[in-house]
Amino acid sequence: MGNEYKVLPRDEFNKVLENNVHPADWTNPEPAARYNLVIIGAGTAGLVTAAGAAGLGARVALVEKSLMGGDCLNVGCVPSKCLIRSARAAADVRNAGAFGVDVAGGYMVDFGKVMERMRRLRSGISVNDSARRFSEELGVDIFLGEGRFTGHDTVSVNGRTLRFKKAVITSGARAFDLPVKGLAGAGFLTNETVFSLTERPPRLAVIGAGPLGCELAQTFQRLGSKVSVIEMSPQVLSREDPDAARMVESSMVRDGVELLLSSNIKKVEKTEEGKVLSLETGGQETKLAVDEILIGVGRVPNVDGLNLETVGVRYDARSGVQVDEFLRTTNGRIYAAGDVCFPYKFTHTADAMARIVIQNALFMGRKRTSALTIPWCTYTDPEIAHVGMYETDARRAGMQVDTFTVPFSDVDRAIADGETEGMVRIHLKKGTDRILGATIVARHAGEMISEISVAMKAKLGLGALSGVIHPYPTQAEAIRKVADAYNRTKLTPGVKKIFEMILRWQRRG
């Protein structure tokens, strides 16, 4: 089949990427008489389902219309984290003076090289998700083309029919189409196009201060763009703990990002000055002229064109394919996993769901999404990582909480690192040491949150974490300090009195 998916720019790295994840010379195999699983969409959810099922001996067909690896590899986690790393290097050099390091003559960010580094690393990683690896090493039948249901046990792709015992919808999500007057005419970037840039936009408007918007706004600012973030709500990362979000907010402002919170966009016009956004910010009408506009206001599930009505799979245009907690759709033979059906749209949740689907669809398993402990992280600097409930969730569920917070200004390693802005905050069920949730703000919060996830998953209380020896000096010691703070609450006046009596008795000689 021809390769319709040219990844821009057409350099050696993107050619390697295409050759791995959508090879131009790919010939779809002869379909098997019947598959145990036919999977539509080869992003994280589809790939993990396919690899796991084939590894257990299932006959599997995996259908992909665009690039295998989906958003994460091609236009999501991987390219964004590569750019974030370059941006961190730039910020470290900028701040080197604070560490007694004189960077004589200043520094310059070579945007072209930053993007080329990203493309090189992405192309290297793409081998893991390649059509050849899945076909030759893992034994999955790879069909490149658009898949759609055609009957109660059939999917068609490029005119071929794939018969299935069970099917899995893993078609993912895409950028939300923002209905703003003049936006389409002026032109804008989404996550699907921003990683193809080869030149730095001098002035960039980022619409939306969610995880994607904040990560890329800070990154582009650090890489030398003048970035303005336009956000409807009065806080960045509006779903996060307000104290945590404020820490990220001040870091972004220190970097030079202009935050236009409580703002609405009325219209966009293309003028000689550039793309001009008419805004209403806190009741005031203002104008903002930029060179590029990046939309980061949420994701909508890919449910169109799959012919879901034909097979009785219920869905909603905003929330996606309807599934129960076993990930079964309203058609018992068809399952779904990943962004197309789940509110927590992350690569690690797509992976976790794929593992559930394999057991439930192939082996009559009863694995439930409700049993998952789901952490997430926004990779700003500092990062915000979270697991479990926020205080507001707990209250809504009618639970009372005890909250313990340790700021990094109390942690020796953070002081030595010059990274005192941040905290570890843990919520417990009131009167117990059962961890309901935690938020960490730190440069490597994403690495630190797993200690709390392990404790929650293993049903270890916070008290147990105070008995875990943490190497000194590490930032993770903050977690032990939170546990110590909890332990101190157990030292009630009554207990203290008994201790004092024992110690007095011991002194009597």
Q: Which residues bind ligand FAD (CB under 6 A)?
A: 40-46, 63-67, 70-72, 76-77, 80, 146-148, 170-173, 191, 212, 302, 305-306, 338-340, 345-348, 350, 379
Burial class of residue 310, CB neighbours in 10 A (0-12, 13-18, 19+): middle
Judge whether 58 and 37 are in contact, CB under 8 Å.
Answer: yes
Q: Least CB distance from residue 84 to ligand FAD, whole Å?
A: 9
Q: What residues are paired with 227 via a beta bridge?
A: 204
Nearer residue to ligand FAD within complex by CB, 144 or 423: 144
Burial class of residue 485, CB neighbours in 10 A (0-12, 13-18, 19+): middle
Nearer residue to ligand FAD within complex by CB, 167 or 401: 167
Q: Least CB distance from residue 471 to ligand FAD, whole Å?
A: 27
Nearer residue to ligand FAD within complex by CB, 72 or 362: 72
Write out the H or E segment, with its range, that includes residue 447.
Answer: helix 445-457
Q: Where are the beta strands (DSSP E) in 291-371?
A: 292-295, 299-301, 315-316, 320-321, 334-336
List phi, psi (to 5°) of 206. Answer: -110, 120
Could you give the 3-state DSSP secondary structure of residue 446? helix
Residue 21 CA to residue 132 CA, distance in Å, equals: 9
Judge whether 191 and 167 are in contact, CB under 8 Å.
Answer: no
Q: What is the largest CA-CA distance in the chain?
A: 93
Q: Least CB distance from residue 490 to ligand FAD, whole Å?
A: 37
The alpha carbon dihedral of 487, 493, 498, 499 has a sign of: positive
Write out the H or E segment, with its range, that includes residue 239.
Answer: none
Q: Least CB distance from residue 230 to ligand FAD, whole Å?
A: 18
Nearer residue to ligand FAD within complex by CB, 376 or 486: 376
Nearer residue to ligand FAD within complex by CB, 172 or 437: 172
Q: Least CB distance from residue 65 to ligand FAD, whole Å?
A: 4
Q: Least CB distance from residue 465 to ligand FAD, whole Å?
A: 25
Q: Least CB distance from residue 305 to ligand FAD, whole Å?
A: 6
Residue 403 CA to residue 468 CA, distance in Å, equals: 20
Nearer residue to ligand FAD within complex by CB, 336 or 428: 336
DSSP state, residue 306: S
Q: Least CB distance from residue 73 to ligand FAD, whole Å?
A: 8
Judge whether 327 and 360 are in contact, CB under 8 Å.
Answer: yes
Instruction: Kindly report the number of other CB atoms within 10 A of residue 426's CB atom.
Output: 28
